[in-house]
């Protein structure tokens, strides 16, 4: 999961200099309003903390505080809660039943989720205290269980429990498959617990487990440094939290006009859902390059209609012999996806050095006619040169099979904010701004971790289990408008924190 670990390592957005920013009006409303998400890699604690932040975002964007003693449904954009600036949302739907006897009583919430990928989950949350400056997570316990199959009441064993206590401690325990491709491999237990303060200081015990085994880590963090090691000790690491020493990798950009207005494709690619031949709900993606279907259907097995994930509109689907497709809405007509915006070559100043367009887009510059940057919507990586991680280290991808075995990729170059690009056809100028970045902490070489004692991290908890709540919270009994459980005015009453 990619999230801003803001509870652990807040950092100011660092703007790199650009040689061509003068023509851009940086007071433009869209430019000013766009703030990039930065995912900070702090070693083994990163993913566990990311999940904590994700669940807290889900709680916040459900608007429970404004819907006490109510049964209602909502939609929450998982992409936004994961800090993932995609051009289209990935909505989870939730039905919630809230209850509170008085202002001094615990607030209880029963939730039924269907994730953006179709997984069904039941959850039970008890909120004792709302977030405050001293307790930014409040006092809360949230337990969730994943269910097997469509509309099943059977738990898979996969689940988690998040707890934030009055003394500022936090814990999260999660059970997930050790190996997604082997059901017999069993479940892995991951956890993180300890003190996690609003000023970014922390003392944490962390475990990560997969098919190869489990590792436990100790973390002690202050305002300047991150100190961690395995338990038992094997090789301690000391990282510098100074923003200027972080290594930044940009994964996605937005484009802006000279007036500081965001440029958006008129008819961008979009995600959709459809039913396959066995009536299973599937996901897909429509773009100017073609139609991607989760089930890989071909010929007569392809869906005859799809539902746009972001606006709920249904499009009739038809296919030509050349592999192209047409999506038609009963009122709006044919949806013609706007092709990517293509750019001419351009040299960019990066960290004080001029990098040529041929270096930024080498595998495109050899085409006839030459092609360079392209923009396919908010979050696009602009088709920059990529490199892959192999056992020998990072390797620049040359377009052949050298990276065939790799599953980790990153762009070779990061375009500084305000870099100028020129559209191939119109000659109009556009300017970049990063919206999705990774930050790697630099090594601390000044001995700053000498006072960060790893032996002070919390001792193990008495157990690392997740309660089975599926036997009392039955998916088959969830309230719906059809069974009279939800009033019509409370259907999709909240969309990502906004009351409808």
The contacts of residue 446 (CB under 8 Å, 6+ apart) are none
What pLDDT score was predicted for residue 46? 60
Cβ-based burial of 3 (10 A; exposed 0-12, middle 13-18, buried ≥19): buried
Asked if 409 and 388 count as a contact pair (C-beta separation under 8 A), the reply is yes
My answer on whether 161 and 74 are in the same domain is yes
My answer on whether 299 and 381 are in the same domain is no
Which of the four pLDDT bands, split at 50, 70 and 90, describes residue 473? very high
Judge whether 64 lies within some domain: yes
Residue-number span of the structural domain to which 347 is assigned: 255-265+340-436
151-168 pLDDT per residue, tens: 889 999 989 998 888 887
My answer on whether 382 and 404 are in the same domain is yes
My answer on whether 319 and 361 are in the same domain is no
Percent with pLDDT over 90 in the chain: 19
My answer on whether 111 and 189 are in the same domain is yes
Question: Cα 177 to chain center, whole Å?
Answer: 20
What pLDDT score was predicted for residue 3? 21
Q: Could you give the C-alpha distances from 453 to 54, 209, 236, 457, in angstroms and in order? A: 29, 25, 11, 8
In 3D space, the residue among 345, 382, 350 whose CA is nearest the CA of residue 263 turns out to be: 382
Which of the four pLDDT bands, split at 50, 70 and 90, describes residue 213? confident
My answer on whether 231 and 280 are in the same domain is no
Q: Which of 334, 352, 379 is the last residue of a domain?
A: 334
Judge whether 20 lies within some domain: no
Comparing 390 with 14, the larger pLDDT belongs to 390
The residue behind tokens 């157990």 is 463
Judge whether 211 lies within some domain: yes
Judge whether 238 lies within some domain: yes
My answer on whether 166 and 129 are in the same domain is yes
Judge whether 377 lies within some domain: yes
My answer on whether 178 and 228 are in the same domain is yes
220-268 pLDDT per residue, tens: 988 888 888 999 998 888 888 777 777 788 888 999 999 999 998 888 8
What pLDDT score was predicted for residue 122? 92
Q: What is the spatial distance between Cα 98 and Cα 111, in angstroms, rounded to a whole number?
A: 9
Judge whether 101 lies within some domain: yes
Half-sphere exposure (CA, 13 Å, Cβ side) for 162? 24
Judge whether 233 lies within some domain: yes
Pairing of strands 290-293, 262-263: unpaired
My answer on whether 349 and 494 are in the same domain is no
36-46 pLDDT per residue, tens: 666 666 666 56
């Amino acid at each position: 999961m990619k999230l801003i670990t803001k509870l652990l390592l807040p950092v100011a957005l660092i703007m790199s200099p650009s040689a061509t920013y003068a023509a851009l009006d940086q007071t433009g409303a869209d430019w000013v309003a766009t703030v990039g998400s930065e995912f900070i890699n702090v070693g083994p604690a990163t993913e566990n903390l990311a999940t904590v932040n994700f669940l807290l975002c889900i709680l916040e964007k459900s608007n429970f505080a404004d819907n006490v003693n109510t049964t209602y449904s909502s939609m929450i954009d998982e992409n936004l809660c994961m800090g993932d600036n995609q051009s289209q949302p990935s909505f989870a739907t939730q039905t919630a039943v809230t209850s509170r006897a008085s202002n001094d009583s615990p607030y209880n919430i029963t939730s039924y989720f269907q994730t953006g990928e179709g997984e069904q989950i039941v959850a039970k949350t008890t909120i004792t205290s709302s977030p405050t400056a001293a307790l930014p997570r409040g006092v809360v316990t949230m337990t969730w269980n994943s269910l097997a199959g469509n509309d099943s009441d059977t738990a898979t064993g996969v689940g988690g429990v998040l707890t934030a206590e009055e003394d500022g401690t936090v814990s999260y325990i999660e059970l997930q498959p050790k190996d997604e491709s082997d059901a017999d491999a069993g479940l892995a237990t991951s956890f993180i617990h300890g003190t996690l303060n609003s000023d970014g200081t922390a003392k944490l015990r962390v475990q990560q487990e997969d098919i190869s085994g489990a590792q436990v880590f100790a973390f002690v963090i202050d305002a300047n440094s991150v100190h961690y090691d395995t338990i038992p000790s094997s090789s301690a690491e000391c990282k510098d939290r100074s923003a200027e020493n972080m290594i930044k990798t940009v994964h996605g950009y937005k484009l802006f006009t000279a007036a500081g207005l965001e440029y958006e494709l008129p008819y961008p690619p979009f995600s959709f859902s459809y039913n396959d031949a066995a009536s299973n709900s599937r996901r897909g993606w429509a773009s100017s390059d073609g139609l991607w279907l989760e089930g890989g259907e071909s010929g007569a097995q392809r869906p005859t209609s799809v539902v746009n994930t972001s606006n709920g509109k249904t499009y009739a689907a038809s296919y030509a012999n050349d592999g192209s497709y047409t999506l038609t809405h009963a009122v709006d007509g044919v949806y013609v996806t706007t092709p990517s915006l293509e750019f001419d070559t351009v040299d960019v100043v990066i960290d004080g050095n001029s990098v040529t367009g041929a270096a930024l887009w080498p595998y495109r510059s050899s085409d006839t006619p030459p092609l360079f940057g392209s923009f396919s919507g908010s979050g696009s990586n602009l088709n920059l040169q990529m490199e892959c991680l192999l056992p020998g280290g990072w390797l620049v991808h040359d377009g052949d099979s050298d990276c065939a075995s790799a599953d980790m990729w990153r762009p070779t170059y990061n375009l500084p904010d305000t870099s100028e690009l020129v559209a191939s056809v119109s000659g109009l100028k556009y300017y970049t701004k990063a919206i999705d970045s990774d930050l790697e902490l630099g090594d601390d070489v000044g001995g700053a971790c000498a006072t960060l004692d790893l032996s002070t991290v919390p001792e193990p908890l008495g157990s690392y289990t997740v309660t089975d709540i599926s036997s009392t919270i039955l998916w088959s009994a969830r309230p719906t408008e059809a069974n009279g459980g939800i009033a019509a005015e409370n259907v999709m009453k909240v969309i990502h924190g906004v009351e409808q």
